[in-house]
Chain A
Amino acid sequence: MSDLLEIFLTAGFWAATIRIACPLILGTIGELICERAGVLNLGIEGIMTIGAMSGWMWVYQGGDLWTGLMFAAFIGALFGLLHSLFAVHLGLSQHVSGIGITMLASSLSFFVFRMMLPSSTTPPKIVPFRPINIPGLSDMPFFGEAIFSHTPMTYFCFAVVPVVIYVLYRTPVGLAVRMAGENPMAVEAQGINVLTVRTAAVATGSAFMAVGGAYLTMSAFDAFYFGMINGRGWICVALVIFASWRPGKALLGALLFAGLDAMQVRAQQFTGGLIPYQFFLMLPYVLSIAAMIVMARRAQYPKALLIPFRRGERI
């Protein structure tokens, strides 16, 4: 037990927690924006995959890292627009359309990757974002390693959250998005087009998801692997429920989750092979289900979530 407590005292654990949390933060925030506007986006798993692939490919083809992120965001937004064409404008089942988007986006990522790099046995690598050295802070004992020696993209992920909170709760745009998810009729009564608001929200949210995927190939690792996302998108969908659709809680949820994930990797060493490693790998998925059970009773989901809006039709 004391071994487990010692984990918390190592700076490496906290650094890993922050690293693991980043893609989850962006994915969860992206899904949250879509759902606050009333649209479930199950395309997240595929959008994160294609974000990881396209951002990486941009850099591999000689592009710059930051424009690579923008490219990933652009591709993500395109798939978001496709999802909103089906789920918002045509009013198809959001579940079914989202699953279709995931199928399309992930298969396209694999196809394009194989097409551009036909025979690569060892995955080719790029030069990813490097940790930055903040004068003074990075040299601090413990905190320097845990918090102040990350890549610029890591700080970007954390900076996104307060911006999203501000936009969602303090601006007219955020109000329109939240209303579109609670009471679309009221939005329409204000002379605002519900379909436009939802489309914009889904495209923006999908862009965040894609950048979250790109974090894996451009900051956490330096290569693209098939099956890299490995259910992270679905975990984000669970985290949105856990966060009760609030961005601040989403950040906390992602950090808590990442902390437990970082701990299980380290805890594996202490059990001395008594518990098979597969059970440790199961933990993130088990925890996601557990998190939804804990929060289910208190969850205040957007009232118009999953309900397509067709002008002139009663809901």
Chain B
Amino acid sequence: MRLEPRESVSFWLVLLAPVGAIGVALVLTSGLIMWTGESVFEAYGHLLKGAFGSRFALTETLTRATPLMLTGLAAAVAFRARFWNIGAEGQLYCGALAATYLGTGLVTLHPTLMIPLLFVGGALAGGVVLLLPVYLKSKLSVDEVVTTLLLNFIILLFVNYLLEGPLRDPMSMGWPQAAAIIDEGVLPRIMEKSRLHLGFIIGVISAVMVWFVMRFTIWGYEIRAVGHNPSAATFAGISINLTVLRVALISGGLAGFAGVTEVAGLKGYLTLDLSPGFGYAGIAVAMLANLHPLGVIASAIFLAGIYVGADSMSRAVNIPNYIADVMVAVSVLAVLVSLMLTQYRVRVR
């Protein structure tokens, strides 16, 4: 078996490859469903219905897609520059911490100022976390994968400490949770009788803005150049360290946004189960979208659909909802292979 680079790649191939890959992934996971003894079509039917089958299901899926979109963007921006930020989970919690600090009575402003304040604070907190990994990467060439990953555990323990100590709401009856965000800071609902909140629109706008920056600005050009070929970028006079710092701040800021949307939009107060791994799922979102900011919107909604649909599927038929994580993982690997096959063709001799 050998790989040959394709001379020309048609646009349709690039667009259809991920779709085909997801089809393959669904076929592969149906093996697991058969093992559970349930009917594959029935199971997928329940999943589809639970994700998109009703107004309630759809709004729940879009609500779940909100943080995924933001952490997905965080990963997409960083991976474009080959800065492997695997720490979105920790940065999300830092954003949520900042929102809790600012939004639980420290300041009281009109909502038009209060909500932007929370987002700015969350983004700063998310970005600051990455200063250490960026410094270590550029000065000591310490691998950022491991530092950002390990910081997740440190931050989660720190949040745990704060929730059991200084930040614990005295009215919480002993539960480790922080005080509620004040009314001025709560993100308004954008659809009646649903949990869908302003955060979704902010996620979509962020995606469009990131796409614009990456596509049409000098910063975006520099980020892509550093990702494609660092030595060529240096030769062209681009400072790699500065670009990586910029990427890290944008990436951490987006993950911080996700923390703000969850605290101020969905839950209302900070707990330790604020994020069931949105930071890690964001990596899958970015990979499914081939790191394209606009693709992130679609892939976040797709992944959210799998998660929400699998929950309702596991209630309807006897299949553990961990199947959702398996489906996501298989889809990610299948999409990776399919995207490579758009660049290379396999020759079997």
Q: Judge if B164 is at the interface, Cβ distance under 8 Å.
A: yes
Q: In the complex, are the beta carbons of B143 and A104 less than 8 A apart?
A: no
Query: Given A91, A279, A282, which contacts B3 in the complex, CB threshold below 8 Å?
Result: A91
Q: In the complex, are the beta carbons of B326 and A92 less than 8 A apart?
A: no
Q: Judge if A158 is at the interface, Cβ distance under 8 Å.
A: no
Q: In the complex, are the beta carbons of B287 and A297 less than 8 A apart?
A: no
Q: Judge if B42 is at the interface, Cβ distance under 8 Å.
A: no
Query: Given A97, A115, A296, which contacts B35 in the complex, CB threshold below 8 Å?
Result: A115
Q: Judge if B283 is at the interface, Cβ distance under 8 Å.
A: yes
Q: Which residues of A contact B283 (CB under 8 A)?
A: 99
B50-58, B101-109, B151-159, B241-249 - interface stretch: B151-159
Q: How far is the CB of B27 from chain A (nearest CB, A)?
A: 16
Q: Which residues of A contact B332 (CB under 8 A)?
A: 100, 103
Query: Given A96, A110, A114, A279, which contacts B161 in the complex, CB threshold below 8 Å?
Result: A279
How long is the Cα–Cα vector from A256 to B158 in the complex, in angstroms?
A: 24
Q: Judge if A86 is at the interface, Cβ distance under 8 Å.
A: yes
Q: Judge if B182 is at the interface, Cβ distance under 8 Å.
A: no
Q: Which residues of B contact A235 (CB under 8 A)?
A: 150
Smallest Cβ-Cβ distance to A104: which chain B residue: B329
Q: In the complex, are the beta carbons of B142 and A103 less than 8 A apart?
A: no
Q: Judge if B112 is at the interface, Cβ distance under 8 Å.
A: no
Q: Judge if A72 is at the interface, Cβ distance under 8 Å.
A: no
Q: In the complex, are the beta carbons of A96 and B336 less than 8 A apart?
A: yes
Q: Which residues of A contact B140 (CB under 8 A)?
A: 293, 296-297
How long is the Cα–Cα vector from A238 to B144 in the complex, in angstroms?
A: 11
Q: How far is the CB of B337 from chain A (nearest CB, A)?
A: 6
A167-175, A202-210, A284-292 - interface stretch: A284-292
Q: Judge if B2 is at the interface, Cβ distance under 8 Å.
A: yes
Q: Judge if A237 is at the interface, Cβ distance under 8 Å.
A: yes
Smallest Cβ-Cβ distance to A97: which chain B residue: B336
Q: In the complex, are the beta carbons of A92 and B157 less than 8 A apart?
A: no
How long is the Cα–Cα vector from A311 to B3 in the complex, in angstroms?
A: 9
* A278-B157, A282-B153 known; A90 vs B326 contact (CB < 8 Å): no
Q: In the complex, are the beta carbons of B164 and A276 less than 8 A apart?
A: yes
How long is the Cα–Cα vector from A92 to B332 in the complex, in angstroms?
A: 13
How long is the Cα–Cα vector from A92 to B1 in the complex, in angstroms?
A: 16
Chief secondary structure at chain B's binding surface: helix
Q: Judge if A16 is at the interface, Cβ distance under 8 Å.
A: no
Smallest Cβ-Cβ distance to A103: which chain B residue: B329
Q: Judge if A130 is at the interface, Cβ distance under 8 Å.
A: no
Smallest Cβ-Cβ distance to B339: which chain A residue: A92
Query: Given B143, B160, B328, B340, which contacts A278 in the complex, CB threshold below 8 Å?
Result: B160
A109-135 near B? 1/0 per residue, CB < 8 Å:
011001100100000000000000000
B8-16, B121-129, B255-263, B317-325 - interface stretch: B317-325
How long is the Cα–Cα vector from A106 to B136 in the complex, in angstroms?
A: 29
Q: In the complex, are the beta carbons of A90 and B323 less than 8 A apart?
A: no
Chief secondary structure at chain A's binding surface: helix
Q: In the complex, are the beta carbons of B35 and A289 less than 8 A apart?
A: no
How long is the Cα–Cα vector from A293 to B135 in the complex, in angstroms?
A: 11
Q: In the complex, are the beta carbons of B150 and A311 less than 8 A apart?
A: no
Q: Judge if A249 is at the interface, Cβ distance under 8 Å.
A: no
Q: Judge if B84 is at the interface, Cβ distance under 8 Å.
A: yes
Q: How far is the CB of B11 from chain A (nearest CB, A)?
A: 22
Q: Which residues of B contact A107 (CB under 8 A)?
A: 322, 325-326, 328-329
Q: How far is the CB of A260 from chain B (nearest CB, A)?
A: 15
Q: Judge if B86 is at the interface, Cβ distance under 8 Å.
A: yes
How long is the Cα–Cα vector from A107 to B329 in the complex, in angstroms?
A: 8
Q: Judge if B202 is at the interface, Cβ distance under 8 Å.
A: no
Q: In the complex, are the beta carbons of A95 and B84 less than 8 A apart?
A: yes
Q: In the complex, are the beta carbons of A103 and B154 less than 8 A apart?
A: no
Q: Which residues of B contact A288 (CB under 8 A)?
A: 146, 150
How long is the Cα–Cα vector from A258 to B320 in the complex, in angstroms?
A: 35
Q: Judge if A160 is at the interface, Cβ distance under 8 Å.
A: no
Q: Judge if B24 is at the interface, Cβ distance under 8 Å.
A: no
Within B190-249, the residues touching A (CB, 8 Å) are: none
Apart from the given pairs A241-B146, A278-B158, A292-B136, 11 other A-B contacts in the complex at a CB distance below 8 Å: A95-B84, A96-B79, A101-B333, A103-B284, A103-B328, A234-B146, A234-B149, A237-B146, A278-B157, A278-B161, A278-B164
Q: List 8 A–B pairs whose Cβ atoms lie within 8 Å, in order of A's numbering.
A: A91-B3, A96-B287, A103-B332, A110-B325, A237-B146, A289-B136, A310-B3, A311-B2
Chain B residues close to A by CB (< 8 Å):
1-3, 32, 35-36, 79, 84, 86, 136, 140-143, 145-147, 149-151, 153-154, 157-158, 160-161, 164-165, 280, 283-284, 287, 318, 320, 322-323, 325-326, 328-330, 332-333, 336-337, 340
